[in-house]
Structure 1
Amino acid sequence: MPFTPIHLGPGLAFKAFGGRHFSFMVFGGSQVLMDIEPLIGILQNKTILHGYTHTLLGALVIGTIGGIVGRPTSSYLLRLLAIPHPPFTWAASFVGAYIGTLSHVLLDSIMHFDMSPWWPIVSGNQLQTVLSIDQLHIACLIAGIVGGIVVAVRIKNRTLS
């Protein structure tokens, strides 16, 4: 299923450790960009849903687009919603975008049979049997819970100082 929220769990963990140097908004937006290809494939009833965009090369291209579009879009939304935040840098945008797209390929490679993440260097999906789908979901959930707790504590401590 495209646009799976399970990808956001590791994103929270990355935010917890990356802080202001990692944009969770750009990370999330990059997840959506990655799944445009599978969505189109579903709408066209294709058998292969995870093609070129779900390779390391595709992730780098989409990450670059996500980083370029992510900073101005996220900055605008943060201002519009009046959400206080530290200065939003290009580096934070690109870190969020590239970690978003590269982690997307890694997680989807474990889950989906129709991927070839190392294309054009190697064909096939050598990562699919690394974890079961249940183990993958649990790992993403744990990453999200731990990351969410760390982020919440940091936000609470900032407001108390």
Structure 2
Amino acid sequence: MPFTPLHLGVDACCKAIAPQRFSFMIFAGTQILMDLEPLFGMIYGWQYLHIITHNLLGASLIGCLAFLIGKPISEWVLQFILKYEDWRISWKTAAASALIGSYSHILLDAFMHHDVYFFYPWILKNPLSNLISYSALFYSCIFMAFIGTTIYLYQLKFKDKRT
């Protein structure tokens, strides 16, 4: 399944650590862009699903694309759909969210997929493949999502009581 929500565990932890300096939506959008290649690969029956976007160069390009389109799209969603007046995401926040999203994506996928090559096309090896079990990776991401969400919601509750 190319669009797994498990990567959002990292997202929740980043949002809890730096709520004003991290965009959940830009990170999530980056995850979707990263997994377009595996989606098309499944549709068209490609032998390898993680070659072009799941390496350092591809992740950098996807991160830059997500940075450029993620800021205006996210601000539009926040202002016009969710009705948050005067909501702005800084370019620095957009860049950090997109690049953390793309690099964490290939790191997590490298543990699970043999065809994630960090230095493609020069080195076709994945030293992280099968280093940890799928279930350990799965439950770690679920745990990160739970912890990150809990901390973020606690911060929101605490912030409301201080003001």
What secondary structure is seen at the aligned counterpart in 2 of 1:21? Answer: coil
Amino acid at match of 1:130: L
Distance (Å, rounded) in 2 between the aligned partners of 1:20 and 1:121: 38
Distance (Å, rounded) in 2 between the aligned partners of 1:85 and 1:121: 46
The C-alpha deviation readout for 1:2-25, integer Å capped at 9, x for no partner, is 110000011100111122111111
Gaps of 5+ in 2: none
Amino acid at match of 1:155: L
Partner of 1:52: 52
Question: Which range is displaced more, 23-32 or 76-85?
Answer: 76-85
1:117-128 aligned at under 5 Å gives the runs: 117-128=118-129
Amino acid at match of 1:67: F
Go from structure 1 to structure 2 and tell me whether the alpha carbon gap of 1:86 and 1:21 turns closer, same or farther (over 3 Å shift): farther
Report how many aligned residue pairs link the two structures.
161
1:135-150 aligned at under 5 Å gives the runs: 135-150=136-151
Whether the aligned pair in 1 keeps the contact of 2:79 and 2:87 (CA below 8 Å) is: no
Go from structure 1 to structure 2 and tell me whether the alpha carbon gap of 1:39 and 1:84 turns closer, same or farther (over 3 Å shift): same
Whether the aligned pair in 1 keeps the contact of 2:112 and 2:129 (CA below 8 Å) is: yes
What secondary structure is seen at the aligned counterpart in 1 of 2:119? Answer: coil
Whether the aligned pair in 2 keeps the contact of 1:48 and 1:114 (CA below 8 Å) is: yes
Partner of 2:31: 31
Distance (Å, rounded) in 1 between the aligned partners of 2:140 and 2:46: 30
RMSD of equivalent CA atoms: 1.4
Go from structure 1 to structure 2 and tell me whether the alpha carbon gap of 1:111 and 1:85 turns closer, same or farther (over 3 Å shift): farther
After TM superposition, what 4+ stretches of structure 1 lie above 4 angstroms from structure 2? none
Go from structure 1 to structure 2 and tell me whether the alpha carbon gap of 1:94 and 1:115 turns closer, same or farther (over 3 Å shift): same
TM-score by length of 2: 0.93
Distance (Å, rounded) in 2 between the aligned partners of 1:85 and 1:154: 22
Distance (Å, rounded) in 2 between the aligned partners of 1:48 and 1:56: 17
What secondary structure is seen at the aligned counterpart in 2 of 1:20? Answer: coil
Partner of 1:105: 106
1:17-28 aligned at under 5 Å gives the runs: 17-28=17-28
Question: Which range is displaced more, 4-13 or 15-24?
Answer: 15-24
How far off its partner does 1:122 sit? 2.3
